[in-house]
Each structure stands twice: as C-alpha cells, then as structure tokens.
Amino acid sequence: MAKQKKIGNGQYVRKETLWLVSLLALAVGFFSGVVFAVYKSEPGIPGNSPPPRATSSDRAGMIAALENETQRNPQNVEAWTQLGNSYFDNNEYEKSIQAYKKSLELNPKNADVWTDMGVMYRRNGQSEEALKAFEQAMAVDPKHEVSRLNKGIVLLHDLKDTKGAIQAWEELLEVNPLAMAPGGKSIDQLIQQLKKQTSP
C-alpha cells in the first residue's frame, strides 16, 4: 500500500504525489524567468541572450529526479513537460524533443509545450519541424504570441523567407498590436525595417 499523509478534513495524499508537487514547485521556481525566444544575432535584429543557468550538479539532479518520476509514472504529463524543460536548459535538443512529444501525447492542447518543442527542433537544425510545431501551437491557441514570434524568426533566419516572416509578424500584430521582440524593439519596428531592406 502506498504511504499516505493526512492533509486535513480526513483526506489523504500519496507520498509520491506530495514529493512530485514539491519537486514541481522547485522546478517552477528554477525555470521561471527563462525566455524561450530563439533570436539569432544579425545586424539590426535583437540577439539572443543566454538564459540563467543552474550549476551542472543542480541540473543533473533535477533531470535524474524527473527521469525517475516519468519511469515510475509514465502518465504524468507535468513530469514529462518539466523533463523536456530540463533538457531544454541543458541544450539536449533530441532528449528535450522526445520528452515534449511524450507530454503532448498525453495533453496535445498545450501551446507552450508545442512552442518549446519547436524551439528545440530549430536548435537541432530542423527548421521545417519547428514551423510545424509553431503551427500546432497556434492551432491550439490562436492568440499564442510566442509561437507567432518564433515562426517569423525561423522563416527569416533559417529559411530566408523575409516575406513569410513579415506576414507571420503582421499576424502577430493582429493578436497584439503592441507586441515586442526580446531586446525591446517593437514587432512593428522590425516589420518596417525589413520592408525597407527588401524594397527596391
């Protein structure tokens, strides 16, 4: 019988559940503030600043705990998501993609996970797969701004499709006319800059 802890009103919670909640609370604090935008440095376009990093032993401990949890409870969607995030922060692209896929098999309606998986595809050199993931995020949440921003980035930088990037960002402005890029420049400014660069 699983160990249980009384939480009041005669209710009990499994020890494993209590442990997972504590672990996830730690993970949320650890990962908060990490920006998942995927800018490349190019003239006139804001660059990517590296996210805050934990020590190697902290990351290894977090990954080991989450790997153990997903093996014991393979239906735990949040553990798969956090494992994907841990691999994301550790620049383990393929492992991150696989963990996100498991999370999305259990809950395909998470636009953030689709977007994070798209970022990992892009970093893994799979731009077309990245675009598909961003499109899935937008299908789940048509107002999802980060996926729209990242779609434009992949189109502009990886596929050299300036017109496609402009269109993606114009659609982002329809969702949020005040949308900003990392680095403080407005999306509208970026669009105007790109239009000037491509005009004859």
Q: pLDDT (tens digit, 9 = 90+) per residue, 169-196?
A: 999 999 999 999 988 899 999 999 999 9
Q: Which is more confident, 161 or 23?
A: 161
Tokens found for residue 179: 């949308």
Q: For the structural domain made of 52-107, what CATH number should be given?
A: 1.25.40.10
Task: Give the pLDDT confidence of 106-132 residue by residue, as tens digits.
Answer: 999 999 999 999 999 999 999 999 999
Long-range CB pairs of 123-128 (<8 Å, 24+ gap) are: 123/38, 123/91, 123/93, 124/93, 124/94, 124/97, 127/154, 127/158, 127/159
Q: What are residue 78's phi and psi, to 5 degrees?
A: -65, -35
Dist. CA 190–CA 144, nearest whole Å = 19
Task: Give the pLDDT confidence of 72-84 residue by residue, as tens digits.
Answer: 999 999 999 999 9
Burial of 150 (0-12, 13-18, 19+ CB in 10 A): buried
β-sheet bridge partners, residue 186: 180
pLDDT in the model for residue 53: 52
Record: fold of 114-200: 1.25.40
pLDDT in the model for residue 192: 95
pLDDT in the model for residue 108: 98
Dist. CA 84–CA 139, nearest whole Å = 21
Dist. CA 53–CA 48, nearest whole Å = 15
114-200 shares the fold of 52-107 = yes
Domain range summary for the chain, segments of one domain joined by +: 52-107, 114-200
